[in-house]
């Protein structure tokens, strides 16, 4: 099957102080997030001049991929400009009939996978006679993803004083109910947290670390709703109480050093560790590693030239769907809200 283009589909982020509030309102629309939480998160962005690094990081990664794939690449976001609807309209105007879609998330689950299918559905509904869109698969267990993180952990550990360190993996928290519903129902749910745990295990094994922790960050929902725990800052404190004096934090759930990484880890977690007198080093994400561009090129090659499907786990290769279809009936189905303000 032939393809005319690659659509790079991401989350989006503000690129100026005036963008921050409307961006956050786009992100949280319909999720019952209290206004005071938006006020708090807005200050995180304003701390960095109202600019998230995510769009610039995506553009840099796209440029790296351009040299490896023989397809024009378009860039569209879910929550901020350039919006995916505009990117798809541009693709149609250029004569694109069928395109691959690279979502900038390695995992399954509602926010990590199904919501990108919903982005595709929404964009295609907004563009008459839209191109056919084939989403690339999840890649949390791709050898290049694992190798990049393993080298990043080694580099972080080298910045600490000699001696033992505790390796802590972190990913974006989600509601417990969302994780329970993650994946095809017949597989028992919890696909997101199981994949994060498996990616962590693979990276730890590559580094030669047998014992490690998986924790969570960046929760944003109302306080009465249970989310995956423990939080990374709470966990740093707990490690200190157990006598740990050096910690390496690896943001295994993220592909780039965007604001949730630089605030939650480089700011909050680092500052708490320093207050406690702990050595703290944060591993980098794959975004500017040449292997990340190679990974995307390999995922494209699986479709355009029957390239090999390289995986390091026994998880099925999920996430590859056409025109916003879901992987399975009720796969990663979001929980229905009930009651005012929920």
**What is the model's pLDDT at position 340?**
28
User: What distance lies between CA 191 and its chain's CA centroid?
Assistant: 15
Beta bridge partners of 279: 246
Domain 5-139+288-322 has CATH 3.40.50.10140: no
**Segment 253-307, tens digit of pLDDT:** 999 999 999 999 999 999 999 999 999 999 999 999 999 999 999 999 999 999 9
Give which of 57, 73, 100 is closest to 289, Cα–Cα.
57
- Look at the block and give the residue holding tokens 């014992």: 211
- Give the Cα separation of 195 and 137 in Å (integer): 13
> 143-282 domain in CATH 3.40.50.1400?
yes
As a whole number, mean pLDDT of residues 314-328 equals: 97
> 5-139+288-322 and 143-282: same fold?
yes
Q: Is 105 annotated as a binding residue?
A: no
165 known ligand binder = no
**pLDDT greater than 50 at residue 40:** yes
Using a pLDDT cut of 70, give the percent of the chain over it: 98
Domain boundaries, the chain: 5-139+288-322, 143-282
Is residue 52 annotated as involved in ligand binding? yes
Q: What is the pLDDT of residues 114-130, one digit of tens each?
A: 999 999 999 999 999 99
Tell me the pTM.
Answer: 0.95
pLDDT of residue 1: 80
Q: Structure tokens of 206?
A: 């590559």
- State the residue for tokens 């909050």: 268
What angle do the packed helices 20-28 and 35-47 form, to 10 degrees? 130
Averaged pLDDT, 85-112: 98
Instruction: Tell me: is residue 85 an annotated ligand-binding position.
Output: no
Say whether the peptide bond before residue 82 is cis (omega within 30 degrees of 0): yes
Radius of gyration of the chain (CA): 20
Q: What is the pLDDT of residue 341?
A: 30
């Amino acid at each position: 099957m032939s393809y005319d283009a690659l659509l790079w589909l991401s989350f989006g982020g503000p690129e100026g102080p005036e963008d921050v509030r409307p961006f956050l309102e786009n992100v949280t629309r319909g999720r019952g997030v209290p206004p005071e939480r938006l006020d708090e998160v807005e200050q995180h962005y304003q701390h960095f001049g109202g600019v998230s690094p995510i769009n610039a990081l995506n553009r840099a990664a796209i440029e790296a991929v351009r040299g490896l794939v023989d397809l024009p690449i378009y860039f569209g976001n879910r929550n901020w400009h350039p919006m995916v609807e505009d990117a798809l309209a541009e693709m149609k105007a250029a004569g694109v009939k069928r395109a691959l879609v690279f979502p900038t998330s390695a995992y399954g689950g509602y926010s990590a996978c199904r919501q990108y299918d919903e982005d595709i559905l929404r964009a295609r509904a907004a563009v008459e006679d839209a191109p056919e869109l084939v989403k690339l698969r999840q890649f949390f267990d791709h050898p290049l993803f694992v190798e990049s993180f393993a080298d990043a952990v080694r580099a972080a550990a080298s910045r600490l004083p000699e001696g033992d360190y505790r390796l802590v993996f972190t990913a974006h928290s989600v509601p417990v109910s969302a994780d329970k519903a993650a994946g095809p129902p017949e597989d028992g749910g919890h696909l997101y947290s199981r994949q994060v745990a498996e990616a962590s295990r693979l990276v730890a094994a590559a580094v030669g670390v047998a014992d490690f922790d998986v924790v969570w960050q960046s929760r944003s929902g109302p306080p009465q709703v249970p989310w995956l725990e423990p939080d990374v800052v709470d966990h740093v404190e707990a490690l200190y109480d157990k006598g740990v004096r050096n910690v390496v934090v690896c943001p295994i759930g993220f592909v780039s050093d965007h604001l949730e990484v630089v605030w939650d880890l480089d700011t909050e977690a680092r500052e708490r560790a320093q207050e406690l007198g702990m050595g703290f080093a944060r591993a980098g994400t794959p975004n500017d590693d040449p292997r990340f561009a190679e990974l995307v090129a390999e995922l494209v090659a699986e479709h355009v030239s029957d390239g090999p499907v390289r995986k390091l786990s026994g998880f099925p290769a999920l996430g590859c769907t056409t025109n916003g279809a879901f992987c399975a009936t009720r796969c990663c189905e979001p929980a229905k809200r009930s009651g005012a303000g929920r």
